[in-house]
A = this chain, B = another copy of it.
Amino acid sequence: MPDSVKYLLDEARIPKAWYNIAADLPVPLPPVIHPGTKRPIGPEDLAPLFPMDLILQEVSTEREIPIPDPVRDIYRLWRPTPLYRARRLEQALDTPARIYYKYEGTSPAGSHKPNTAVAQAFYNKQAGVRRLTTETGAGQWGSALAMACQFFGLECTAYMVKVSFEQKPYRKVMMQTWGAEVIPSPSERTRAGRDILERDPRSPGSLGIAISEAVEDAATHEDTKYSLGSVLNHVLMHQTVIGLEAKQQMEMAGDYPDVVIGSVGGGSNMSGLTFPFLRDKFNGNAVRVVAVEPEACPTLTRGDYLYDFGDTAATTPLLKMYTLGHSFIPPAIHAGGLRYHGDAPLLCLLYHHKYVEAVAYHQHPVFEAAVQFARTEGIIPAPEAAHAIRKAVDEALICKRDGMSRTILFNLSGHGHFDLGAYEAFLAGKLEDYAYPEEQVERAMRELAAIQP
């Protein structure tokens, strides 16, 4: 049996430009709206939070944005990342399908997140910023930004959801090892934090509260900006290095995908892999593009396409997206990175116009696929990435049933070294499948009518 195959690119083939899908959209992207005026916001509205280079990327319609050399130099520490043909998994499934995956877990932070963290740190340093603030849940994004800031000599302050800070200390230690200041949120540092603590001194915190604290910290300090790890256009664009490399590697393999799959929390890893393939689709290619989400937080498959706040505390501008309502708090599934009430506006637009499909899974079948993958291909996947594996396996099983050989490509966005507690629960038969929280979502959705422009 031919064994699993790794396709490695030469370093010279790390992309020299990001792909900006805004140049090729077949339908226009709805504007971002100011919640007070209900009118589109302009670059100046974002200036307190982001450096102008990133704001210009956010609204750019240039197809290619050059990747600055210092960013590529850091990418080279782990990029190009490998693309694998998962022949051992194919054999285990006894499928005629060809399964490929792009592996982003080789970065020092263990996921795709540094692709944008490094770019954001660079542009902030260029703009004379001294310090970046951000929020982080379990710490995947915070650790990527901490590392990136360290590379460029920026200070980094990460507001970490207090319950994670206390219960999952290892990502916190990772951030500190890379020199970041990690603050359990809610904190006494900000008015937002103090308000929460006054009402509830034992608040466990939430991502929404942490965003409010990070934004306030940046907005109230001259030399400080704010950084976000997903959702925004420029963040998704930075991630297109994944798909641009994968296209070259599929060419090396002499193949092209019939279906491209990514898991979706805010949308950055999925968009990073799929946007370069969607460009082909806009030009008539039949490639299918599939977003995979958790049944406990099924934004695309069960949400509505409306304007909503990006954060739970309702402090951001309004974004047109599939949403379950910003006040909806998803159940505590192990794929913490997929617990987001909305999704990136670019991805939502393309889903709305049927360029992208979506499917939702319970965590039990997701972990079944994760363990099968670990036992055949070796790598223990992050629970987030395992959602994409589940869908890839299901597509391969359809090929088996139909006796069809299709080409499947998915993004393995990170490893599961910090998620072994979840594997322990699964292997012990103690993993809970949360039902779709219909009532909570309906309650959260009712609030949205009032804020539509």
Contacts and interface: CB of A to CB of B under 8 A. Distances in A.
A443 interface: no
A173 B427 CA distance: 8
Contacts of A200: none
A282 interface: no
Interface residues of A, number: 42
A369 to B, nearest CB: 13
B423 A177 contact: yes
Contacts of A176: 423-424, 427
B178 A375 contact: yes
A404 interface: no
A174 interface: yes
Contacts of A398: none
Nearest to A107: B378
A67 to B, nearest CB: 14
A378 B417 contact: no
Interface in A358-395: 371, 374-375, 377-380
Contacts of A151: 88, 378
Interface in A69-83: 70, 73-74, 76-78
Contact of A173 (B4, B8, B70, B423): B423
19 contacts: A3-B76, A4-B73, A8-B8, A8-B11, A77-B84, A77-B377, A78-B378, A106-B106, A169-B420, A169-B424, A170-B420, A173-B420, A174-B423, A176-B424, A177-B375, A177-B380, A178-B375, A179-B375, A417-B417
